[in-house]
Amino acid sequence: MGLRASSELVALSPLNAWWLTLAAAFLLSLMLQLLPPGLLPSNALFQDLIRYGKTKLEAPLRPAYFQSFDVPKRYFVHFYVISVLWNGFLLWCLTQSLFLGAPFPYWLHTVLRILGAAHFQGGELALSAFLVLVFLWLHSLRRLFECLYVSVFSNAMIHVVHYCFGIIYYILIGLTVLSQLPMDGRNVYVRGKNLFMQARWFHILGMMMFIWSSAHQYKCHVILGSLRKNKAGVVIHCKHRIPFGDWFEYVSSPNYLAELMIYISMSVTFGFHNFTWWLVVTYVFFSQALSALLTHRFYKSKFVSYPKHRKAFLPFLF
Ligand SMILES: NC(=O)c1ccc[n+]([C@@H]2O[C@H](COP(=O)([O-])OP(=O)(O)OC[C@H]3O[C@@H](n4cnc5c(N)ncnc54)[C@H](OP(=O)(O)O)[C@@H]3O)[C@@H](O)[C@H]2O)c1
């Protein structure tokens, strides 16, 4: 893996460069947040860009005109609509290619080449990328369901940059999966010719991890939703309360932890060695750790009775 990773760093594809830049940007933001309060840069724009939802409510020094860039956080649902449609389309193209021998559309093949797909020819099992795309699509579908029927949104906001980023993110993430496929021209190359003969132990492990993490993320979103409903399931307020139960007993943002586990499960499904996907995981790690840290601080400043043993993101550690 080390050799492969270093050779890919030398020929950094546009996709790898994108995920590496994102990971570095969120690492830097996280490190700045970990500085002692006196040393923390008080740049209002920086604070406005890294905070969203409830943590935006306590952003220091927020000029009034920043509100013109606010977009309702309930628009998160748009990300998942786009992801279900776009990644569903990519999955359909891949299925057609794998099972009916239909080549990828010319424009899609060109986009993948531009993004750096050629760097990965021959390396990956087609079944791994197929399963990861299925997981990604199922994840988006569940998140769409949660946004529509489980979560109760308040009037919390996100920055318009964040909104645009979310849309680009779900378009690029599916292309990242496809770019890992071994290609023979515009056709997917299936080593051994029979896709299911490629099944390996890490596919089973990845699938089990994916189901387990998804189930916990769903449970956590149900818990958050229930904080704003009465016993009959009717929404009674939109305030932020202290969540209890499931992984909330260990960390303040178990839904972010589950998100990380979901992306790690995809790395497992790729057989542990896919450098590009580890870059994606690194980005998810730092972005979710940053949000979890801000969320943890929000809870601690708002609730004096906040459980002392609870960590922000990683049980017992951070
Ligand atoms: N892969 C990525 O790059 C990425 C990026 C961002 C998010 N995500 C994932 O998307 C999911 C949702 O993210 P999120 O940031 O929206 O999560 P979140 O802040 O925990 O919010 C989830 C839902 O619970 C509500 N809520 C949050 N805290 C609450 C509290 N204390 N009391 C009552 N209700 C509360 C929120 O309402 P309001 O916020 O409207 O008040 C929202 O409806 C997460 O699983 C996250 O991992 C992924």
- pTM for this prediction: 0.95
- pLDDT tens track for 208-250: 999 999 999 999 999 999 999 999 999 999 999 999 999 999 9
Nearest C-alpha to atom 1 of ligand 1 is from which residue?
Answer: 284
* Ligand 1 atom nearest 147 alpha carbon: 43
Q: pLDDT band at 107, cuts 50/70/90?
A: very high
Residue 8 clears pLDDT 60, i.e. is over it:
no
> Residue 39's pLDDT is what?
74
> Residue 76's pLDDT is what?
97
Mean pLDDT over 49-68 rounds to 87
- Decide: 152 in ligand 1 pocket, CB within 6 A: yes
Instruction: Choose the weakest-confidence range: 54-63, 130-139, 237-246.
Output: 54-63
Distance CA 266, CA 76 (A): 23
- Decide: 240 in ligand 1 pocket, CB within 6 A: yes
- Decide: 228 in ligand 1 pocket, CB within 6 A: yes
Q: pLDDT band at 191, cuts 50/70/90?
A: confident
Expressed in angstroms and rounded, the spacing between residue 171 Cα and the centre of ligand 1 is 20
Please, what is the Cα angle at 30 between 26 and 36, to 5 degrees?
Answer: 155
* Ligand 1 atom nearest 240 alpha carbon: 32
- Decide: 87 in ligand 1 pocket, CB within 6 A: no
Distance CA 253, CA 290 (A): 11
- pLDDT tens track for 145-154: 999 999 999 9
For the chain, domain boundaries: 51-58+67-199, 200-318
Mean pLDDT over 153-163 rounds to 96
Measured N-to-C along each axis, helices 254-269 and 201-226 cross at an angle, to the nearest 10 degrees, of 160
Please, what is the Cα angle at 196 between 192 and 201, to 5 degrees?
Answer: 105
Q: Where are the beta strands (DSSP E) in the chain?
A: 70-72, 157-159, 183-184, 187-188
- Decide: 217 in ligand 1 pocket, CB within 6 A: yes
Expressed in angstroms and rounded, the spacing between residue 158 Cα and the centre of ligand 1 is 11
Expressed in angstroms and rounded, the spacing between residue 24 Cα and the centre of ligand 1 is 23
Expressed in angstroms and rounded, the spacing between residue 52 Cα and the centre of ligand 1 is 9
The dihedral region occupied by 253, where left means phi > 0, alpha psi between -120 and 50, and beta the remainder, is beta
- What's the whole-number average pLDDT of the chain? 93
Residue 170 clears pLDDT 80, i.e. is over it:
yes
Expressed in angstroms and rounded, the spacing between residue 46 Cα and the centre of ligand 1 is 20
- Decide: 224 in ligand 1 pocket, CB within 6 A: yes
Distance CA 131, CA 206 (A): 9
Expressed in angstroms and rounded, the spacing between residue 29 Cα and the centre of ligand 1 is 19
Mean pLDDT over 48-54 rounds to 93
